[in-house]
Amino acid sequence: MSKIIPFKAVRPASDKVALVSCRNYDDYSAAELAAWLNFNPYSFLHVINPAFAHVQKISLDKRFKGVALKYQDFKNEHIFEQEEKPVFYVYEIESKTQKFTGIIAGTSVEDYQNDVIKKHEDTLQYRVEMFKDYLHQTQFNTEPVLITYPDSVELNTWILLKKQSEPLYQFSTTTKEKHTLWKIETEHDINWLQEHFEAIPNLYIADGHHRSASAELLFEQDKHLNNKNLSYFMSFLIPESNVKIYEYNRIIRDLNGYSKLDFLEKLEENFIIKSKDQELWKPQDKFEFGMYLDGNFYALFYKKSNDETSILENLDAQILYDKVLNPILGIEDLRNDERIDYISGKQSITAIKQVVDEGEYEVGFMLFPSNINEIKDFADNNLIMPPKSTYIEPKFRNGLIVYEL
């Protein structure tokens, strides 16, 4: 049984929403970030980067306090306004090639603790602690956890009906995305939606494992305050079929002392290798890998053993680690080894070709993306995917909906 709740959200004034909401802070180049901060006084980037005006480095504690103060300034200036009562939202993100539609709601920390909300990624404790401290200091969150639920004809029909009503927001961004938000506020609709989710046995985190873990840590730290909002965290719930899962491709700085010929010979122990010359070749199925080395593309077909029956052993990202990255290239720590970097599958493979041709990296590997069933298998069996196994969309805009603690 999955529990969701409406909440009294804080959100931008309707005439400013396109100016306020922004992408994730890390998505901006330094020049792009400076431009937005210089020329758009309404951007939520001013809230999450309060030291910009003084061009100075500050401690995390001071930064978090600065975020809280700047957020309060936005509220005092009526850039943000608060709902009068708890509500849900239907939210749609539409690009040239994709459309994502889901529900913004509060999800239960207790469900997270009891594995009703299931996970498939490991977390770094220092990141969990840091975001917990951020939440404690700022008392708000604007980055929902992306959670999937089983496809439901009944729920899809209900969402389509709600989309016929007048939206609360409808705006476009400079990335050519169209964003539409509908408020769900009647008692009948709220009760219907909660009852529908109560019939769903499990939800699955697609993206946001650190945020959900931080919410749990903050709840355990501050639960003596009897603050109901701490018992929930904001989530964007979408059907399983509506998530877009990309692979994370690997780029490696050197061949660990091997010559090209010796490296190819080592690969042949576990892969059938076919040269693709200058063809921009990508894997077409599981157990296939692309490789770019010394100006040429290669197709690598894994010689799968009948002994490899576990879910982990059959994951392409794990196969590449077990058969190539660790034993041949000497990479043990996928998170911290400076010899490896990652490029999401959303980018063209020409990005891999470019960085290898420029000489900073010596070889690139392309993977076939996982699917939602593979992710659920890991979660259902309490297994953890290797770091950087998936890049999942949609990505939520900062400053669009704020969940206050």
Segment 352-393, tens digit of pLDDT: 999 999 999 999 999 999 999 999 999 999 999 999 999 999
Average confidence (pLDDT) over 169-194: 96
DSSP letter for each residue of 143-188:
-PEEEEE---HHHHHHHHHHTTSPPSEEEE-TTS-EEEEEEE--HH
Residues forming a β-bridge with 88: 184
Average pLDDT for 305-314: 82
For residue 26, the model assigns a pLDDT of: 82
pLDDT value for 166:
96
* Confidence class for position 57, pLDDT limits 50, 70, 90: low
Same domain, 325 and 235: no
Same domain, 73 and 143: yes
pTM: 0.93
Q: Are residues 364 and 400 in the same domain?
A: no
Say yes or no: 77 and 103 in one domain.
Answer: yes
15 and 135, same domain (yes or no)? yes
Give the pLDDT of residue 25: 84
- pLDDT tens digit string along 276-288? 999 999 999 999 9
User: What is the total count of domains within the chain?
Assistant: 2
Residues 213-261 have pLDDT tens digits of 999 999 999 988 888 899 999 999 999 999 999 999 999 999 999 999 9
Alpha-carbon span 300 to 287, nearest angstrom: 8
Count CB-CB contacts under 10 A for residue 185: 16
- What pLDDT, on the 0 to 100 scale, is given for residue 68? 95
383 within domain boundaries: no
Q: Please report whether residue 384 resides in a domain.
A: no
Give the residues across from 100 on adjacent strands: 93
Answer yes or no: is 173 within a domain: yes
**Whether residue 57 is found in the same domain as residue 177:** yes
Q: Is 196 part of any domain? A: yes
CB of 14 closer than 8 Å to CB of 388: no
Quickly tell me which residue has 């985190």 as its tokens: 205
Q: Which domain holds residue 276?
A: 246-369
Instruction: Looking at the structure, tell me whether residues 205 and 261 fall in a common domain.
Output: no
Task: Give 308's pLDDT tier (boundaries 50, 70, 90).
Answer: low
9 contacts 89 by C-beta, under 8 angstroms: yes
